[in-house]
Structure 1
């Protein structure tokens, strides 16, 4: 009985740990509508098998990788992720065009007192144009450091590199 309860608890915890919180989803939807200048759009989840997910560096599941459609027209792709900061985590959105070139990145929720400068549009612009085919993003070489936000800058840079490498793996394995 205790073992069964423990297993159910672990399953419940795992399913909650990788789900997108409602407030994060709302903020992402607002950004998507604003970016594509539309109020009416839908998100079509891209399913990634557990086996393929294990080969990637990013965690795909629970609707965090999706196609964006409006009126039956394909607009692009989106990804909602979560990255570590000094003592907490932050949620971010990456929008891609049809070739998986980054068209927008946005920090949706930042939970620290310091380091929130990574939410700046000006700083985030440096990710625009990155794709699975571009060179690796490197802190202090092609990614500008921010004093007081070193951990968050390095974290988002690592997350973007992992996401782009993972997208390349997906492109070879499934039809996107």
Structure 2
């Protein structure tokens, strides 16, 4: 009879089927496996975040609205014009100083885009395309001027803010008609404010004031140099705007 091997102290000679089954996951791998409940919670949280972001983006997009294209603004401001001649202004250092001195405001852009509205060979006026910051977003607007530098019409092309779109009201824009670089153009003084749209009102007003100063310093000399276009001779220098 073969002798039985001596038992090792502290070790059982009895091996269960579970001990011999090498394919069964160890307790360590079980701990590393994500629980089904945890995965469900993560998926639900991610889904809620996606829905919330989608709603916020949709709400913001709904507030950004384009009212007019450039071409529509041109025809609206100068319906009699037969052509629009595009020009791009690049201010010299001297012109920048002159514009700032005339309007009493910092010149934020070193140039402007404008179009000469022509009826036949005559210049009917000038259309400026300008941009200012509302509270957070850009406001695109057009300033139509007569050949002698008076506001003919203001049009809001695109408004991206969530609030303050009331500046598009005709009553508010109409108050600029006939103003030129000599006007004070100060909110709550000769320009009325709109409750809830104060920042937009102020910045658009300042933008119009800069455009009028730009006309006097940069554009008027160009127009006066055009022969046979029916453009009035340059007016005497405008009095500086009151602080």
- Answer whether TM exceeds 0.5 for this pair: yes
Alpha-carbon separation, structure 1, partners of 2:135 and 2:121:
42
CA contact (8 A) 2:133 2:139 kept: yes
Alpha-carbon separation, structure 2, partners of 1:158 and 1:130:
13
Alpha-carbon separation, structure 2, partners of 1:154 and 1:114:
14
RMSD of aligned residue pairs (Cα, Å): 2.4
Runs of 4+ more than 6 Å apart: none
- 2:211 equivalent in structure 1: 163
CA contact (8 A) 1:44 1:68 kept: no
- Which of these two proteins has the greater Rg computed from alpha carbons? 2
- 1:70 equivalent in structure 2: 119
Gaps of 5+ in 1: 1-23
- 2:85 equivalent in structure 1: 43
Alpha-carbon separation, structure 2, partners of 1:49 and 1:88:
25
- 1:175 equivalent in structure 2: 222
CA contact (8 A) 1:139 1:154 kept: yes
Q: Secondary structure at the match of 2:141?
A: strand
- Counting only pairs closer than 5 Å after superposition, residues 1-80 of structure 1 correspond to structure 2 as 27-38=69-80, 40-45=82-87, 47-55=89-97, 56=99, 57=107, 59=109, 61=111, 64-80=113-129
Residue correspondences, number? 149
TM-score by length of 2: 0.55
TM-score by length of 1: 0.74
Alpha-carbon separation, structure 2, partners of 1:141 and 1:49:
30
- 1:121 equivalent in structure 2: 170
